Amino acid sequence: MTSLAGPKRRPAGRKQDILSAARSLFVERGYPSVTMAMIADRVGITAGALYRHHRSKSELLVRVFEESFRHLTRPLPAESLEDAFDNLLSLEVASSSVAELWRREARYLPQEPRDAILAALFAWVGQCEQLIRSARPELSSAQVSLLSWALQSVLVMPASVAQGVAKETVDNCRYGSLHAIERTDLEPMSVGPTTQDEACFSVRSTRERLLLSAISRFGENGFRDTSMTEIGADVGVTGPNLYQYFSSKADLFQAAYARCASTAWTLLGQAASRAASPEQIVRSLVVEHVRLGRLWAQTRFGPFGNDDVNAFVHRERAEYVSEWVHTVQAARPALDRGAAQVRVQIALTLIDDMLSTRFLARQQGFAENLASIASAVLLDDLDDAR
């Protein structure tokens, strides 16, 4: 008997469901760990049905990025920074994990679409720069650029940094942070290398040299894209000899992370011991956190493809952030814990983002101004901004 039902129609929202599922999985697990079968399973279709929409995981990644960064192709709907803040915070981009996706997975994009997104991003930030120049004509081009990229960081703040906090509190903190950044007093900036301390001696211990190499490699490339072979080659240790010191890459990463965390806690204690007030402690904490640089910033770019490492990093970082929240509340007693938590997460995310924006981080005056911007987010009276 001939069926009278006609051809089966695909659900109208199927393509969007696929993109949403793929984006979520890429953020949760990392692009290398996600399979087309996983994506199909989350959508509730077969892998074969998924391949009718997208020929490969690489093609799907491109589509996810194009969809996630679609807002960059639209003109900035504002004539002033005030208008821009109102409009930009209402964009879907604020809750779509765009920032996490870009930080962790952009390296897997083919060159052409990656360059296209970068060009659109720079053009979009350029529109913010024009608004800042109108509001603060006294600033140099370098200062304007720094503020624009700092605003961008807050606008695409990952939703995960505000888990468990009321949406109204998050919105108020994000809105107030934009205003705090825009009005921050800045030191002069100039193009040129930042001042760095030169090593005065060479470490002899093989284990310590492996650890220092790991901190540098993991800080530069992240956990996934760093190999034990590369770290061993830096020190001249190869083959089985390498595993006499660390049993696995996960073991080495946890040791490197623990070293960074220990340094951070030491700096926190030093700031608390020499500051005359809770506000000075906060400002000192920010300065020292900026000094830690990329070797600490990269540690939040999980997931790491290893459950033990994921749990270890989450536990260590949560304790560190909790101490920051306590310190900010001591400096600003009127803040409830939720608001203090969001401020701390915005400030730390902002610092990590700016440290990873290398063309800015290489400029003289960058570190000082970044510390001022983050301190403003933590300490300014943001509730009056709206």
**Residue 88: domain span:** 14-135
Q: What is the pLDDT of residue 349?
A: 86
CATH number assigned to the domain comprising residue 129: 1.10.357.10
* Residue 141 domain flag: no
- Same domain, residue pair 337 and 200: yes
In a domain, 298, yes or no: yes
Q: Does a structural domain hold residue 376? A: no
pLDDT for the residue 94: 43
Q: Is residue 184 part of a domain?
A: no
Q: Rounded distance, CA 373 to CA 363, Å?
A: 16
In terms of domains, do 90 and 199 share one? no
Same domain, 90 and 211: no
Peptide bond into 303 cis (omega under 30): yes
CB 97 within 8 A of CB 27: yes
Determine, yes or no, domain membership for 183: no
* Domain assignment present for 70: yes
3 state DSSP class of 163: coil
Last residue of a domain, one of 135, 167, 201: 135
Nearest to 320 by CA among 374, 265, 267, 283: 265
**Domain for residue 322, yes or no?**
yes
How much is the pLDDT for 202?
66
Long-range contacts formed by 194-199: CB under 8 A, 24+ apart? 194/361, 194/362, 194/363, 194/364, 194/366, 194/367, 195/364
Tokens of 211: 């650890």
Residues 102 and 202 reside in one and the same domain: no
pLDDT at 197: 46
Final residue of a structural domain among 100, 117, 135? 135
123 plus 214 within the same structural domain: no
Q: What would the pLDDT profile of 34-45 be if each residue is shown by its tens digit?
A: 999 999 999 999
CA 167 centroid distance within chain: 20
DSSP 80: S
Q: In Å, what is the CA distance from 261 to each residue of 63, 156, 215, 216?
A: 37, 26, 12, 15
Residues 96 and 241 in one domain: no
Task: Indicate the SS3 state at residue 119.
Answer: helix
Type and span of the H or E element at 318: helix 307-331
Q: Which pLDDT score is estimated for 77?
A: 66
Which string of DSSP letters, residue by residue, matches 175-190? Answer: HHHHHHHHT------B
Domain boundary among 135, 153, 175: 135
- pLDDT single digits (tens) 102-117: 877 888 899 999 999 8
The answer to whether the beta carbons of residues 360 and 149 sit under 8 Å apart is yes
Please give the tally of structural domains in the chain.
2
Distances (CA, A) of 106 to 26, 33, 257: 11, 15, 24
Query: What three-state secondary structure class fits 364?
Result: strand
Run means of pLDDT, 10 residues per run, the chain, 386 residues: 48 81 87 92 92 91 88 72 73 59 84 91 87 92 93 75 79 89 92 52 82 83 84 89 90 87 84 86 90 61 66 82 93 93 91 85 92 96 57
Token pair for residue 250? 């996960």
pTM, full prediction: 0.81
Residue 8 resides in a domain: no
Q: Is the same domain home to 287 and 208?
A: yes
